[in-house]
Structure 1
Amino acid sequence: MKLLDMSYGRSSYQVTLHSSPLFEAALGIAAATYDEIHPTLEKPREHWLAMIDALPPDVQTELYDAQRHHTWKTLLQLLHARPFPDLDAFLSYLEGLPGQQLRLEALPYLGREREDARYLASTGNRLAVAELLQACAGHKFFPAYISHVSEVDANELRRHLITLFRGWYSIHVRPQETELDSLLQRDCDQKRAMQQKLSPEALVEWATGGKYEPEPSVARVLLVPHTLYRPWTIQADAPDTKVFYYPVADENMAEQVDPYQPPHLLVQACKALGDEHRLRIVKHLAERAHSLQELAVRMDMAKSTLHHHLSMLRSARLIEMDASKYQLRRTHVDQLSLFLSEYLDKDCSR
């Protein structure tokens, strides 16, 4: 086939950062109701049980309903509607939403091709609901969630969300609201300071720890920092937007930030590269990708020892696996000098 390419080329996405204790509350509810993930979170299971026990009985009832029907998803999607300055503004918005609009905001975005079905489903159209259910049949919780949102009385859903969110926020966010807002904002400011120096893809990778290549249907990436779901990054979809709730960087978690504290990833990278063997591995991978066996031969090293070195390099995000081979994350390596310069040039006089 002969092809004359007259297209503009692949465009990137725009990155927006937004922090708010409101997101922290919704993600806290999500984490508290997700028993399976508790062993992987920084906070132990006992912490989450204590948070649930601290809630008033009526709020606990709503939390268990949220666990059964996954309505924490509704809260997150409603928070995407606009930037809300505080809890009262968000609850006022929720109280004023017409029933059909509330359902529409609650139903998950499943791609442009199903936006008509999503709208019709919000009006009670059973065929449209069936189409959405079929489209996400393999998803972990979407089918049950869509069925519930489509069937529950809109006023009952509204009452449930308001009682749950107000109760959780009052107990677990309000007492530390000022400090939490400052912490989340500090992390956003750190990312914004690098926004003019990194490509959108590099910024997303730095914040989330994972790559996200541009998609034709996605014009914007929304980055939202969180503390409760650490170390996980949660990915979600909205119209024309990919959402990443990413963990606040380690250096921004302390109540009193030490201006001389280097970024955690910079420390990891320096440690990983501060060894002759690991530098040799990086050099080999700069030439081409290698399997474990190929590296063991070229390094004349036992696989168990080699695996230890590779693990350190992976933890520092300097290398990655592609199928069965290790390859260098060249973009991240090239950015180390930038991160070091940012740290050295940071004003510590205040």
Structure 2
Amino acid sequence: MKIMDATLPEETIHLTVEQSPVWEWIVGIAGYTHGQLRHTFEMDEEWTQDAQAMPASLLESLAKIEETNLWYGLLLLQNEFGARSVEEFAERLAEISEERFYDILLPYHSRAAEALREQAAQHPEDSGWWFSYARLFEGHAYLSGYVWQLHGHTRAQLSELFMKVLREWQDWMTKKFYIGRWLHALTFEEQQHRGLDSANAAKEIERVASVDYAPEPSVWSVKLIPHVSYRPWLLTIRTADVKLFFYPVSEQQLLDPEVPPNELIQGHKALGDGLRLNVLHYLCHGPAPLQEMSERFKMSKTTLHHQLALLKAAKFVKVDKGVYSIQPEKLQAFSTQLNRYLGMDE
């Protein structure tokens, strides 16, 4: 029997490292306005000091972004535009149709909900479609409210806020003495990861961004976006067909050899507390949910969550579906980094 092979070439994920000053400005805005986790960001102390000197107009814009979570929309728009400058971002924003505007800004939920998302995008004034779509995100930390914020503002109002905060944040950041080094490090990161092997996407993603990734249905493009402002966190966003990983650029690219890496400083802060050390010791015996640890240490879940967030920011613990576990390899890497900085690894 003769068999004719009519199969098409196997498709692979399109994998790229992408950076631009626009990405860094938006990620900075997202971090600055992240009220719940901001105390764990490396930039938090400086941002707190900045608030005393920032123009009132910028503070007002940032407060609006924090209230509405519209930083998420900025990220979605930049994913679509890939703008290399704020002015290019503004031009692209002005050019798109109203339907496309809302199609970009409405967050992805699932393949089953795509038809509903499209109806909402096509009918921005129809509360029925928007109510139905927003309900799908009930219980999410911010996306349900974010959808209603999109519906509660006109396109003109949203566009004005996006451009106002983006331009003002850029103006503020370009005055920083270190911004040239930041942007140089981000450019270098993009250049050294050109030509990634998309056929081995999972390994490449783990190598570049230090994150495990399993292919997802309908995702044909993965963007790895280095950042400084959102350190030490990894931020993940998914659209209908793109997965975005915002990963912290290596601090070694940002510092002089004599300056201790902030990872060391943050790590010692995380370890410099008896309770947090007790939590780590407890997790050495196995993973545990927040409720269990709250009862074990006789404190509220809110207080304990705050302490765990510091350990998580230092990458000493991780959480999966509400269950916390220790990351021994990160603790070992921390010790190695300390020895390397002190010159004791030779």
TM-score (norm 1): 0.66
Match status 1:242 vs 2:253: no
Equivalent position of 1:22 in the other structure: 22
Give the secondary-structure state (helix, strand or coil) at the position aligned to 1:192.
coil
Give the secondary-structure state (helix, strand or coil) at the position aligned to 1:36.
coil
Equivalent position of 1:138 in the other structure: 139
Cα distance change, pair 197–224 in 1 and its aligned pair in 2 (3 A): closer
Alpha-carbon offset, residue 178 of structure 1: 4.6
Write out aligned runs for 1:147-162 (5 A).
Answer: 147-162=148-163
Give the secondary-structure state (helix, strand or coil) at the position aligned to 1:224.
strand
Cα distance change, pair 22–327 in 1 and its aligned pair in 2 (3 A): closer
Alignment partners' CA distance in 2, 1:180 and 1:104: 33
Alpha-carbon offset, residue 292 of structure 1: 6.1
Write out aligned runs for 1:81-96 (5 A).
Answer: 81-96=80-95
Alpha-carbon offset, residue 160 of structure 1: 1.1
Alpha-carbon offset, residue 82 of structure 1: 2.7
Q: Look up the equivalent residue of 1:78 and give its one-letter code.
A: L
Q: Look up the equivalent residue of 1:79 and give its one-letter code.
A: Q
Equivalent position of 1:190 in the other structure: 192
Q: Is contact 2:73-2:105 (8 Å) kept?
A: yes
Alignment partners' CA distance in 2, 1:17 and 1:48: 27
Give the secondary-structure state (helix, strand or coil) at the position aligned to 1:223.
strand
Q: Look up the equivalent residue of 2:91 and give its one-letter code.
A: S
Q: Is contact 1:69-1:144 (8 Å) kept?
A: yes
Give the secondary-structure state (helix, strand or coil) at the position aligned to 1:121.
helix
Q: Look up the equivalent residue of 1:36 and give its one-letter code.
A: Q
Give the secondary-structure state (helix, strand or coil) at the position aligned to 1:213.
coil
Q: Is contact 1:32-1:52 (8 Å) kept?
A: no
Q: Is contact 1:25-1:165 (8 Å) kept?
A: yes
Q: Is contact 2:182-2:254 (8 Å) kept?
A: no
Write out aligned runs for 1:218-297 (5 A).
Answer: 218-254=219-255
Alignment partners' CA distance in 2, 1:79 and 1:250: 25
Q: Look up the equivalent residue of 1:129 and give its one-letter code.
A: W
Q: Look up the equivalent residue of 1:46 and give its one-letter code.
A: E
Write out aligned runs for 1:1-350 (5 A).
Answer: 13-43=13-43, 45-122=44-121, 123-124=123-124, 125-173=126-174, 178-192=180-194, 195-196=196-197, 199-254=200-255
Alignment partners' CA distance in 2, 1:133 and 1:172: 34
Structure 1: unaligned runs, 5 residues or longer: 1-6, 257-263, 265-290, 294-314, 330-350
Would you say how many aligned residue pairs link Structure 1 and Structure 2? 266
Alignment partners' CA distance in 2, 1:60 and 1:38: 16
Bigger Cα displacement from structure 2, 70-79 vs 49-58:
49-58
Alignment partners' CA distance in 1, 2:34 and 2:28: 10
Larger Rg: 1
Alignment partners' CA distance in 2, 1:118 and 1:192: 34
Bigger Cα displacement from structure 2, 146-155 vs 85-94:
85-94
Alpha-carbon offset, residue 139 of structure 1: 0.8
Cα distance change, pair 238–248 in 1 and its aligned pair in 2 (3 A): same
Q: Is contact 2:13-2:198 (8 Å) kept?
A: no
Alpha-carbon offset, residue 65 of structure 1: 0.7
Alpha-carbon offset, residue 163 of structure 1: 0.8
Alpha-carbon offset, residue 208 of structure 1: 2.7
Q: Is contact 2:225-2:247 (8 Å) kept?
A: yes
How big is the alpha-carbon RMSD for the aligned residues of Structure 1 and Structure 2? 3.7
